[in-house]
Structure 1
């Protein structure tokens, strides 16, 4: 029997690693307020300094370590509430920025003036590799543990492998050729080189396949906040899609869909914490808190002080699309003379006493669209149409009229646009991989250049490790 998830310290403790490394995993554990923690289990951490050997001889403390990774991920970096959802939303045609001229870092994403010394680029890179280092340390410690059961080892290793592969997948899509970090040896890591994106995907897929085998079928957290087999399978389906392995992508998405079934029929419930279509989500830091996405996207009076939905995205919805009325909100100025819109998938900005929304990372609708695209490429026209229609009909729209491969791919890109907007950079990844970035963004972004298909590797990283050269073209 799988050990049951304990809701202990993941939302109040986090780990600061000595990233430049030594042989022991030195973790400084900082304790915040414990009053909001539910079912808190006290852990005696001697002197707040634990070597790898002592950490990984106890399942509860190891669980605290892996939950510390999820804390890092949801609060900073690629898939945090203000990560790719905001920066890549501005980089594409989803969001508009309203602090123009104030030398704010996000302005560079709106204007396509990102440079190699960009602070956001540096944070995306550094936070991801810090999180990768953490899970590699967990993998190393768990593998060498003598007290953890084989069942416990499988769970922790599966989670760590999943996180490592998912972060590298996002890095590869943003930066192209990247280092794939598998260990914690400082001397090795300080001199790593970038490997071709195609080889990185070999490692990504290998890690995901192993994670699927190690992770349990059931959700041990009972809230879908810890990875289980379907979580790794969902990202594996995406990895196969991104590498144009259509048969494998179709089969993996089909496996996830078969487990979960039909889409959540009520659009107003899709982003609630108990939504049936949620595959994996992040729990807020404290009971009663909701999502960073709600905080970032919602504004109550115009003009917006930070970001808002672009007119282009608002106009992309077909007449009668219920996603527009349910997931978009219009806001006027005090004189009611102008109107702006914001993403309204998450509807709470603050503490509501009891959390009603968690930050959703993976959900079932994406799997339907992955299967649709794979089926289209495989010549299964009726199958692709059925998957597109499942998403469209849930939104109150008629069946697709697409018949040919090109029509189906255009229809899928459109559905992904209005279904997955402001979610973890999907729009950018879709435009790029489907060859539409220059066509779409070149028409609306005066500074657009083909070199913008990739972000620059941070200057500081190239200085610290010249083996990462050459810099991406054009930076």
Structure 2
């Protein structure tokens, strides 16, 4: 696994000094080193594979103790919090301050990653030394990563600065762009990536591999399906998700065994990120963080009673994806999608799942339901039942369902299928219109949940605050409503 060490060290040498504060620092001091990297296929590729390693090991973006899986679940109704950390308590009680280190960490890490891929795009354009197919692959992956990061940034913070270059002078004073403009760039980047990327997965050496840790064409299509769903472009969401699903079982399929879904090379995986085997036996940062192996009062969180009560009788996901820990006569419950907390000396068996086929069925179900395709061939019913049947549940027979009733069934499946995965529940509650004509589902669900968590729900809490330090350094950054201006 030496190649992973090289990737990590290379990425740190190139980027850490120049992108630690993308919106604040002066000009990068690595231009000579950087330009030399893009004279060679292997080194240029290592920059991107280093980004994926960064996704896997950093604990303040998608994974780990301050990543989206946990912080999104704490923001919503998935977890109970035991930690006394003020910053985490603010997340949990939906009472964030603009100085909160969790939300500022998410912002900082997101823009650091955007800096790296912007630098890749600028340098690849200027390099005539790379093989054409490697150049196309790296441009496609860079645009995919930029779209992926901006998708999360805009869903966390709303309007955000849209930075498409490494020009520090321009970036340092950039105001926030409207969400509509951010999404337009996300779609453009993903459509470009779809054209440039291959169907086959590429290894760190740019050869075909079964390992799914570099995004491919299908990954771009899967993320486009999600983006169009969030934008309520129902036809496009259905088209893209169908394109992924219809690749067939030789490429992607729902794993029959729920315990196989999150393994390395799972057939359900569309994109995973992996950790090298020398990382102290940790397979995934979510497995390391979310699996309870000590008393939760020491470790931090467990699944909430309201979430556990959402499982229907006989749902195999409750048996296979929820673990228990006994302490002091009490039973604590935790996500058990990843089985490995830490296994020094053992080979890596799990990768962090970022995009998977189960979500695509639920995207298509929702898109079809919103178009009135509730039951029969080519309907929401078919897709919901694909997920339910895999979980050991009886299929639904919704010939008398209204659209709202079908949406309630889809919400139920999304809740118990995608829990503890990169903030799905939090984003769903924020984007759905409420059943009782509330502005969003969050405004229906969260008032009672916030009280149970020791807070008071404010509709403004659906967006995180723009970090105070970044607003001090850039007077053009406005603050979200409901936070100190």
TM-score normalised over the length of structure 1: 0.90
Output one character per residue of 1:188-242: Cα deviation in whole Å (capped at 9) or x when no partner: 1111111111111011111110011111111113210001111111111110000
Is 1:439 the counterpart of 2:440? The answer is no
Secondary structure of 1:444's counterpart equals helix
Output one character per residue of 1:283-333: Cα deviation in whole Å (capped at 9) or x when no partner: 113355311111111123545421111111111100000000000012222
Aligned to 2:229: 241
Is 1:309 the counterpart of 2:303? The answer is yes
Aligned to 2:73: 89
Secondary structure of 1:332's counterpart equals strand
Q: 2:91 aligns with which of 101, 109, 124?
A: 109
Secondary structure of 1:85's counterpart equals helix
Is 1:345 the counterpart of 2:328? The answer is no
Give yes or no for contact 1:11–1:284 (8 Å, CA) kept in 2: no
Shift of 1:168: 0.4
Give yes or no for contact 1:21–1:185 (8 Å, CA) kept in 2: no
Shift of 1:139: 0.6
Aligned to 2:361: 368
Shift of 1:22: 6.4
Question: How far, CA to CA, are the matches of 1:173 and 1:56 in structure 2?
Answer: 33
Structure 2 residues without counterparts, runs of 5 or longer:
204-208, 433-439
Mapping 1:177-326, distance limit 5 Å: 177-221=159-203, 222=209, 223-261=211-249, 262-287=253-278, 288-300=281-293, 302-305=295-298, 306-326=300-320
After superposition, the CA RMSD in angstroms is 1.8
Question: How far, CA to CA, are the matches of 2:416 and 2:347 in structure 1?
Answer: 30
Give yes or no for contact 2:214–2:271 (8 Å, CA) kept in 1: yes
Q: 1:10 aligns with which of 7, 21, 34?
A: 7
Give yes or no for contact 2:11–2:50 (8 Å, CA) kept in 1: yes
Shift of 1:13: 4.5
Question: How far, CA to CA, are the matches of 1:330 and 1:55 in structure 2?
Answer: 48
Shift of 1:258: 1.2
Structure 1 residues without counterparts, runs of 5 or longer:
1-5, 28-49
Question: How far, CA to CA, are the matches of 1:442 and 1:109 in structure 2?
Answer: 15
TM-score normalised over the length of structure 2: 0.88
Question: How far, CA to CA, are the matches of 2:109 and 2:69 in structure 1?
Answer: 16
Q: Which moved more, 1:354-363 or 1:292-301?
A: 292-301
Give yes or no for contact 1:265–1:394 (8 Å, CA) kept in 2: yes
Give yes or no for contact 2:73–2:426 (8 Å, CA) kept in 1: yes
By relative contact order (CA 8 Å, sep 6+), the higher-ranking structure is: 2
Secondary structure of 1:106's counterpart equals helix
Q: 2:465 aligns with which of 453, 456, 468?
A: 456
Shift of 1:65: 1.1
**Distance verdict in 2 for CA 1:350–1:174, change over 3 Å:** same
Shift of 1:474: 3.5
**Distance verdict in 2 for CA 1:346–1:12, change over 3 Å:** farther
Aligned to 2:206: none
